[in-house]
Amino acid sequence: MVDRVICGRWDWSRNLVGPVLLEEFREMLTMCQQVLLEPGKDKIFWSGDPSGEFAVSNLKIILVEKELVKHVSVFEWNNWNPKKVGFVAWRAVLNRLLTFEALARRSIPVSSTKCPVCGMEEESADHILFLCEVAQAVWCLISQWFKVPPIYAFRVQDLVELHRNMSAPKDKAKAFHAVCLVTMWWIWKKRNDLVHNGASVHFQSLFEVIKSLSYLWIKIRSKKRGLINLGGLV
Q: Are residues 221 and 80 in contact, defined by beta-carbon separation less than 8 angstroms?
A: yes
52 sits in the region (left: phi over 0; alpha: psi -120 to 50; else beta) called left
**φ/ψ of residue 2, rounded to 5:** -120, 120
Nearer to Zn ion, 100 or 217 (CB): 100
For residue 198, the minimal CB distance to Zn ion (Å) is 17
Stretch that binds Zn ion, among 37-45, 117-125, 144-152, 203-211 (CB under 5 A): 117-125
Residue 5: strand, helix, or coil: strand
Residue 233: strand, helix, or coil: strand
Stretch that binds Zn ion, among 8-16, 38-46, 129-137, 193-201 (CB under 5 A): 129-137
Note whether 132 binds Zn ion by CB under 5 A.
yes
For residue 118, the minimal CB distance to Zn ion (Å) is 3
For residue 114, the minimal CB distance to Zn ion (Å) is 8
For residue 207, the minimal CB distance to Zn ion (Å) is 17
Taking CA atoms, 18 is separated from 11, 120, 123, in Å, by 18, 26, 19
Binder of Zn ion out of 92, 115, 156, 180 (CB under 5 A): 115
Stretch that binds Zn ion, among 25-33, 43-51, 128-136, 222-230 (CB under 5 A): 128-136
Q: What angle do CA 165, 169, 175 make, to 5 degrees?
A: 80
Binder of Zn ion out of 63, 69, 104, 118 (CB under 5 A): 118
Report how far residue 153's alpha carbon sits from residue 131's, in angstroms, rounded to the nearest whole number.
Answer: 8
Nearer to Zn ion, 48 or 116 (CB): 116
**φ/ψ of residue 176, rounded to 5:** -65, -40
Nearer to Zn ion, 132 or 227 (CB): 132
Report how far residue 159's alpha carbon sits from residue 167's, in angstroms, rounded to the nearest whole number.
Answer: 16
User: Residue 140 is which amino acid?
Assistant: C
Stretch that binds Zn ion, among 22-30, 50-58, 112-120, 201-209 (CB under 5 A): 112-120
Nearer to Zn ion, 117 or 180 (CB): 117
| List of residues contacting Zn ion (CB under 5 A) | 115, 117-118, 132
